[in-house]
Each structure stands twice: as C-alpha cells, then as structure tokens.
Amino acid sequence: MHIRLINPNSTASMTTQALESALRVASAGTRVTAVNPVGTPVSIEGSTDEAMAVPAMLSEIRAGEAQGIDAYVIACFDDPGLHAAREVARVPVIGICQAAVQVAMTISRRFSVVTTLPRSVPIIEDMVQAYGAGHHCRTVRAINLPVLGLEEDPVTAERLLLDEIERAKIEDRAEAIVLGCAGMSSLCERLSEATGVPVIDGVTAALKIAEALVGAGYSTSKVNGYDYPREKGVFDGAVALPRVGAARAALAE
C-alpha cells in the first residue's frame, strides 16, 4: 500500500520530520511518501492559517488520487480541511488530531493534550469535543512556544514539554498525553520514557490507522456527506465559466 503524508504548511523540514516519524512505525510493504504545498503559511497557528492552507492541500489530494494513493494523513494537529479532503478523496483520509484522540481513549480513561500556543487551546478543545472525547480529555495545555520554535530551539521545547506533562500528571491526573503538534513527533518516545506516561504522537497514530483501514479494504463513503463535490461553474464577475469537478475528472482518466 502507498500512504501519502501531507503537511499543509510550507516548511519542508517539518514535513521531513513527520515522514521520519511515520517511517519508524510503518509496516513492511507500506510505502510512505510526504509532500507539502508551496505558497501556504510556514506554520499553522489559528483559523486563518488553516483556511489559507486548505486549497493547496486539496490540490495535493487530487494529484494523489490520480496517482493511485491508498490513504492520506493530514499532518497538522488542527486537522485543517479534513471533511473537505474526505469529499475529494475516494480512499481514507486521517487527521492526526482525530487519530491521536481515538488512540488516547483506547489506552486510557483520561488524557490531556499539550500543544504549542495558547491560541490553539480553544481550537483543540472544540475538536476534542467534536470527536466525542470531551469527557475523556482533562485539559488542553500550551507551552507557549511557536510551532517553528520546536525546530529553532529543540532543547527548550523538550524541557517545556517535560514540565507540562509532569504538571498534567499531577494536576489533571492524566493517564496519557497527546502531543498537540506534528512538529513534536520526534520527541514522543523520549518524553514517554522520561515521564513514565504514554505519550501519543498523532502522526504515528494516523499512519497505523491508515494502514489498518487500507488493509481491511475500507474506503471513504460517497453516500451523502462525503460525496464528491458537486460540479459547478466558476463565476468570473461577468459570466459563469463551466468547470468539471476535479475529483471526478481525475477518477475518470
């Protein structure tokens, strides 16, 4: 099987790190490739960044559909454009937040999320609730470090994460920790060993869920909610220009 990891931001080094994390857990026979679009924000830190990144991400998925990709992992913890991506794709599309939350609920009764900036906290809280984990998630914590700071100052980043995880163990009585950023994936094992609590990285969780869905023969439902986007014209200010739905066209070729 061929799984395509898509980093919606334009920072290639972050894409490489996420790919390395995915490759560490990929099964024999699973091919994992990674892409990131150009012209998108260098990091995704809020709803505006998400909105700016989604069109290029969808273009990558349309290209992947034409190439016969078996599943996609969206390597951003905000799961930007997840529902739109599932409309475009015939095959499974996994968001790393949803994957991590599902794993956390499976291996613990209560968990906390540790993310980068405080502005991400309400976004993640809403997603956790939407994924049915509101009762299980004790809290969403932030280390107050920008996403790019994870690469620029990894020593400080790891120290802040260790401190916040220890607080979550004591104050939240958290039984597992979800790392709330794809840029933290390389630290997962060390953080778990240092704190003695299961630390869940959404990239690896999503990769294994993708493998399981493909292996079991599941694909994205095209009945109602995740049906392909309807074909529409493009209004250029004067006349509506006809355009064939890109996803349908790619599958018909």
At residue 245, does pLDDT exceed 90?
A: no
As annotated, the residues of the chain forming the CATH 3.40.50.12500 domain(s) are 2-96+205-252, 97-204
Give the Cβ contact number of residue 66 at 10 Å: 13
Rounded distance between C-alpha atoms, residue 201 and residue 160, angstroms: 17
At residue 116, does pLDDT exceed 80?
A: yes
Q: In sequence order, which residues have a C-beta less than 8 Å from that of residue 232 and are 6 or more positions away? A: 243, 245
Please give the CATH topology (third level) of the domain spanning 97-204: Rossmann fold (3.40.50)
pLDDT of res. 232: 80
pLDDT band with cut points at 50, 70 and 90 for residue 242: low
Rounded distance between C-alpha atoms, residue 57 and residue 35, angstroms: 9
Rounded distance between C-alpha atoms, residue 143 and residue 223, angstroms: 41
Give the Cβ contact number of residue 150 at 10 Å: 26
pLDDT of res. 249: 46
Identify the weakest region by mean pLDDT among 33-37, 136-140, 214-218, 243-247.
Answer: 243-247
For 2-96+205-252, CATH number out of 1.10.10.60, 3.30.70.270, 3.40.50.12500, 1.20.58.220 equals 3.40.50.12500
pLDDT band with cut points at 50, 70 and 90 for residue 241: low
Q: Tens digits of per-residue pLDDT, 52-94? A: 999 999 999 999 999 999 999 999 999 999 999 999 999 999 9
At residue 125, does pLDDT exceed 60?
A: yes
pLDDT band with cut points at 50, 70 and 90 for residue 252: very low
Q: Tens digits of per-residue pLDDT, 97-108? A: 999 999 999 999
